[in-house]
Chains A and B, each alone.
Chain A
Amino acid sequence: MSGTGHTVKSYEEEMQSLNDNLVMMGSLTENQMADAMAAVIKVDKESVDKIVKNDGKINELRSTIDNQITTVLVKRAPMAVDLRITISTMKISHDLERIGDLAKSVAKKVKPLPVDLPDELIGSLRRLGDLVQKQLKDALDAYLNRSKDKAIEIWKKDEQVDDLTNLAMNEVATYLQKDKKNLEMATHLLFVTKNIERAGDHITNIAESLYYLIEGEYLEGARPKGKPIES
């Protein structure tokens, strides 16, 4: 929020509530991502149903935020920073909802996995998961602190996400080459890896929306891209 409050108190309250709901949504999404990653690494099949169920709460918050934004637009015709907050909140909430969906998809892949996943298979995947979780946490902190510099940092760091994704995929591919019987497991792990990478892309979107919110301008230039998979 800007330093000075709105003259109309109910407007101020509406914007505050929008902010609170987005923060709540961010925190739920963060938990879901952490739970989904932990479930994969530990092959914890017990936790999957809970993760799938919890995704509903994130979706509900997204609908609530959508409705709140429609009301703010029609009631207040927000201008300047309020307009940018409203638009960015809408975009960020949609990205968070998608990250929630991806976490759910990741968790669902745990059920068909063998309980004794070899360590060599999940080394890079674990690091990728840690990095994406860190990116999400940083993005939410940057939103709370309205930090433009942090937004740029997150945006640039997606390159590392891409690189780790390629590494993780290569690891799975190498394992698959050893024995074709590993095909089913490898396929699941490739999907898990790809889903985490896509969550990373949504976090980059959040960084872009945040930058627009703060600066009123779009982040310039092409997104940083990781190295392509070497065959």
Chain B
Amino acid sequence: MELNNSKIKIQAKNLNVYYGKKQALFNINLDINQKEVTALIGPSGCGKSTFIRCINRMNDVIDICKVEGSVEIDGAEINEKNVDVVTLREKVGMVFQKPNPFPKSIYDNIAYGPIIHGAAENKDQMDNIVETSLKKAALWDEVKDRLNEPGTSLSGGQQQRLCIARALSVNPEVILMDEPCSALDPIATAKIEELIDDLKKSYTIVIVTHSMAQAVRVSQKTGFFHLGKIIEVDSTDKIFKNPANKMTQDYITGRFG
């Protein structure tokens, strides 16, 4: 597990997040390496999802949510007032727990983002973006003859890959995945994991997962969260074979609570 010589893509520094009076994240410091998969694990409610939502400012849409501290992408602070969140979310795509295709055709699901961002000048260019995105998400062969059918007509696993293709269509640099396989069967899960392996060559990926085995399979670095704090961050190999912290060990071996 090579951690050396990796360039830091995302850096969270002294990050604190509050939902009203309740503090959800406590002084998080975490470096996420470029073109690697970083897995975040921890019990439900430990702050993993809250943390990744800080990376594309998804917490902005929650009125009572207050974010303090710093998140830098390529050294630039994303919480500055002048940062355009639409541009930020173009750079930092997100895939959620349950596949959530738009109630539109497969084609339009992919074209939606590029249209908003004005990425295509004509139909040919858009066709090209749709095809490339679906290919990158390993879905093209399965849907190329039915692009006008609704996205919701696809199976769960296909819908999730559609959502990944949708995220890829605007050329992001970072992809955030919040339990992307928790609603999928093992075969669909394997396809997504294979895809993650492939995508990490071009993208920085942060994945929240409740499956320890999945974290081991897909990630190079793992962070363990508990009660809003980062307990341990290390190479995935180290975390799952010989973690330094007893709490980490108790969690991953099923000795918690």
Instruction: Give me the interface of A with B, judged by CB distance under 8 Å.
Output: 2-8, 11, 76-84, 215-217
Known A5-B255, A7-B256; further 4 A-B contacts with Cβ < 8 A: A7-B254, A7-B257, A80-B243, A83-B240
Q: How far is the CA of A216 from the CA of B240 in the complex (A)?
A: 10
Q: Which of A6, A84, A215, A216 sits near B255, CB closer than 8 Å?
A: A6
B150-158, B169-177, B245-253: which lies at the interface: B245-253
- Which residues from chain A contact B255 at a C-beta distance below 8 Å? 2, 4-7
Scoring B residues 223 to 257 as 1 if CB is less than 8 Å from chain A, else 0, what string do you get?
A: 00000000000000000111100101110111111
The answer to whether A4 touches B212 (Cβ under 8 A) is no
Chain B nearest CB, measured from A4 CB (Å): 5
What bracket does the count of chain B residues touching chain A fall in?
Answer: 10 to 19
Looking at chain B's contact residues, the main secondary structure is: helix
- Which residues from chain B contact A7 at a C-beta distance below 8 Å? 254-257
Q: How far is the CA of A77 from the CA of B212 in the complex (A)?
A: 9
A-B contact number at CB 8 A: 46
The answer to whether B212 touches A2 (Cβ under 8 A) is no
Q: How far is the CA of A78 from the CA of B243 in the complex (A)?
A: 13
Q: Which of A78, A215, A217 sits near B253, CB closer than 8 Å?
A: A78
Q: Is B213 an interface residue (CB 8 A)?
A: yes
Query: Given that A2-B249, A6-B254 are known contacts, is A77 also in contact with B213, CB under 8 Å in the complex?
Result: yes
Q: Which of B213, B241, B250 sits near A84, CB closer than 8 Å?
A: B241
Name which residue of chain A comes closest to B250, CB basis. A4
The answer to whether B254 touches A217 (Cβ under 8 A) is no
21 interchain pairs (CB within 8 A)?
A2-B255, A3-B246, A6-B253, A6-B254, A6-B255, A76-B254, A78-B253, A79-B212, A79-B240, A80-B241, A80-B243, A80-B249, A80-B252, A80-B253, A81-B253, A83-B240, A84-B241, A215-B242, A216-B241, A216-B242, A217-B242
Query: Given that A2-B249, A77-B212, A77-B213 are known contacts, is A84 also in contact with B242, CB under 8 Å in the complex?
Result: yes
Q: How far is the CA of A8 from the CA of B255 in the complex (A)?
A: 8
Scoring B residues 100 to 139 as 1 if CB is less than 8 Å from chain A, else 0, what string do you get?
A: 0000000000000000000000000000000000000000
The answer to whether A80 touches B242 (Cβ under 8 A) is yes
Q: How far is the CA of A6 from the CA of B250 in the complex (A)?
A: 8
Q: How far is the CA of A82 from the CA of B249 in the complex (A)?
A: 9
Query: Given that A83-B241, A84-B241, A84-B242 are known contacts, is A2 also in contact with B253, CB under 8 Å in the complex?
Result: yes
Name which residue of chain B comes closest to A4, CB basis. B255
Chain A nearest CB, measured from B178 CB (Å): 22
Q: Which 9 A-B pairs have the closest CB atoms?
A: A216-B242, A79-B252, A4-B255, A80-B249, A82-B253, A79-B240, A6-B254, A80-B253, A79-B253
Q: How far is the CA of A79 from the CA of B240 in the complex (A)?
A: 6
Q: How far is the CA of A17 from the CA of B37 in the complex (A)?
A: 38
Q: Which of A5, A11, A76, A81 sits near B249, CB closer than 8 Å?
A: A81
- Which residues from chain A contact B257 at a C-beta distance below 8 Å? 7
- Which residues from chain B contact A216 at a C-beta distance below 8 Å? 241-242
Query: Given that A80-B241, A80-B242, A216-B242 are known contacts, is A2 also in contact with B213, CB under 8 Å in the complex?
Result: no
Name which residue of chain A comes closest to B257, CB basis. A7
Scoring B residues 195 to 216 as 1 if CB is less than 8 Å from chain A, else 0, what string do you get?
A: 0000000000000000011001
- Which residues from chain B contact A217 at a C-beta distance below 8 Å? 242
Q: How far is the CA of A230 from the CA of B254 in the complex (A)?
A: 56
- Which residues from chain B contact A82 at a C-beta distance below 8 Å? 253
- Which residues from chain A contact B250 at a C-beta distance below 8 Å? 2, 4
